[in-house]
């Protein structure tokens, strides 16, 4: 009986994921309404709940895909993977106002380059203060502070040690998770309530998952503007970190 | 028809990802440079072009808007598949770096906003 039940869920994995995410969302909106009086938005709770489930999944299975490593939740990994995420992000662009895009186009591009260098420097300085002295490790950890993709791409290009690469991924993951959780609360303080600052925000943060999650829980209308700059960030990071930024670190070390 | 909207969306995404990958290749890096951003620009361009061969009628729109509405559920699924365990087991250095980067970048948002606005006037 239980086998037949499990097999039904596993062999229809994406459908199972639709149902599961629907239930999680319903539960989250219920918490939002009844326990926080609507103070914390339902989607913010759903994202945090997702992260908690990912942690539990990691503990149970010891894999790298959070909840999606549990066979019956494999579909969550597909639904939440880069393919569907990017597809939905492109769809959000349908509501974009070209005037807003043009107005913030220049500062948006500046913020991407500034964001990569800024994050890199902070990561590199932290690595330095924790006792790393070789340019390759410092660069790799700095790159991880950009995003968890820039870190390993840079580390591999410079042949950093596997421990340092893993560390750079951890830095990028923490960044992404914190952006997801904190953005809805910080947004009013930093006036993140218009397309213009959303584009700057996307360029400075750069983590597509973090920005996608953070803005979803803040104001879904801002998503395309933030995502627009954020999706360029990782590419720019992979371009600058192993080249110019590495040479810069190497020069000063 | 609804499928036209979904197909248009697919076309934009594939074209964008292809161009992003090509751009990465030309720059000599193993990464996609802004593919999704290019896809978004392409969709915005097509949607706003009045003289386009493809007419975006109400049912075509609903094919795009469905995926737009699925955005938040997909993001929830994305959260549930993050490697949270690895993030937490990264130790103090990873935590320090992650927290500092996020907090300082948050602070930089209004500063950059102000700088760019004051330059215009």
Residue A175 and residue A171: Cα distance in Å, rounded?
Answer: 6
**Chain B residue numbers touching A192 (CB-CB < 8 A):** 109
Q: Mean pLDDT of all residues in chain A? A: 93
Count of C-beta atoms within a 10 Å radius of residue A4:
7
**Chain A residue numbers touching B92 (CB-CB < 8 A):** 130
Exposure pattern of A222-238 as b/e (b: 16+ CB <10 Å)? Answer: bbbbbbbbbbbbbbbbb
Sign of the CA dihedral running A131, A134, A137, A143: positive
Find the farthest-apart pair of alpha carbons in chain B and give their distance in angstroms, rounded.
57
Question: Residue A98 has what pLDDT?
Answer: 85
- What's the distance, CA A50 to chain centroid? 13
* B42 and B12 Cβ atoms separated by less than 8 Å: yes
Length of chain B: 121
pLDDT in tens, chain A (253 residues): 899 999 999 999 999 999 999 999 999 999 999 998 888 888 889 999 999 999 999 999 988 899 999 999 999 999 999 899 999 999 999 878 888 888 888 999 999 999 999 999 999 999 999 999 999 999 999 999 999 999 999 999 999 999 899 999 999 999 999 999 999 999 999 999 999 999 999 999 999 999 999 999 999 999 999 999 999 999 899 989 999 999 999 999 8
CA of A98: how far to CAs of A95, A161, B81, B108, in Å? 9, 45, 33, 25
Token pair of B36, please? 């999704």
Chain A nearest CA to B27, separation (Å): 8
Torsion of CA A237, B89, A21, A72, to 10 degrees: 120
Which tens digits make up the pLDDT trace of B40-66? 999 998 888 776 656 778 888 999 999
**Chain B residue numbers touching A46 (CB-CB < 8 A):** 72, 76, 79
Put simply, the answer to whether A180 touches B79 (Cβ < 8 Å) is yes
Put simply, the answer to whether A235 touches B32 (Cβ < 8 Å) is yes
Which tens digits make up the pLDDT trace of A174-201? 999 999 999 999 999 999 999 999 999 9
Count of C-beta atoms within a 10 Å radius of residue A167:
26
3-state secondary structure labels for all residues of A185-217: HHCCCCCCCCHHHHHHHHHHHCCHHHHHHHHHH
Task: Select from A62, A230, A165, A222 the least CA-distant residue to B72.
Answer: A222
CA of B26: how far to CAs of A172, A209, B23, in Å? 26, 26, 5
């Amino acid at each position: 009986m239980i086998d037949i039940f499990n097999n039904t869920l596993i062999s229809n994995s994406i459908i199972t994921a639709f149902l599961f995410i629907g239930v999680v969302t319903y539960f989250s909106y219920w918490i939002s309404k009844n326990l926080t009086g609507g103070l914390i938005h339902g989607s913010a709770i759903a994202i945090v709940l997702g992260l908690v489930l990912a942690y539990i999944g990691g503990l149970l299975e010891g894999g790298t895909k959070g909840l999606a490593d549990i066979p019956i939740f494999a579909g969550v990994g597909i639904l939440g993977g880069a393919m569907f995420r990017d597809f939905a992000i492109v769809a959000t662009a349908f509501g974009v106002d070209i005037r807003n895009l043009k107005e913030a186009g220049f500062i948006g591009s500046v913020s991407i380059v500034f964001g990569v260098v800024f994050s890199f420097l902070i990561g590199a300085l932290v690595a330095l203060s924790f006792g790393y002295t070789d340019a390759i490790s410092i660069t790799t950890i700095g790159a991880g502070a950009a995003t968890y993709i820039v870190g390993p791409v840079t580390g591999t290009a410079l042949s950093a040690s596997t421990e340092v690469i893993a560390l750079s991924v951890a830095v990028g993951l923490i960044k992404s998770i914190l952006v997801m959780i904190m953005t809805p609360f910080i947004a009013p303080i930093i006036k993140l309530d218009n397309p213009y600052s959303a584009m700057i925000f996307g360029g400075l943060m750069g983590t597509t998952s973090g920005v996608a999650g953070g803005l979803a829980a803040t104001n879904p209308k801002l998503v395309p503007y933030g995502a627009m700059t954020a999706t360029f960030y990782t590419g720019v990071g992979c371009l600058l970190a192993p080249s110019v930024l590495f040479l810069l670190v190497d020069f000063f070390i | 028809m609804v499928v036209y909207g979904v197909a248009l969306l697919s076309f934009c995404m594939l074209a964008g990802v292809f161009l992003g990958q090509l751009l990465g290749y030309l720059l000599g890096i193993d990464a996609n440079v802004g593919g999704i951003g290019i896809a978004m620009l392409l969709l915005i361009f097509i949607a706003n072009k009045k003289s386009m061969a493809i007419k975006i009628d109400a049912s075509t729109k609903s094919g795009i808007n469905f995926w737009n509405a699925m955005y938040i559920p997909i993001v929830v699924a994305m959260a549930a598949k993050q490697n949270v365990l690895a993030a937490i087991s990264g130790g103090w250095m990873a935590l320090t770096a992650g927290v500092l980067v996020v907090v300082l970048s948050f602070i930089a948002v209004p500063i950059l906003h102000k700088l760019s606005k004051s330059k215009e006037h």
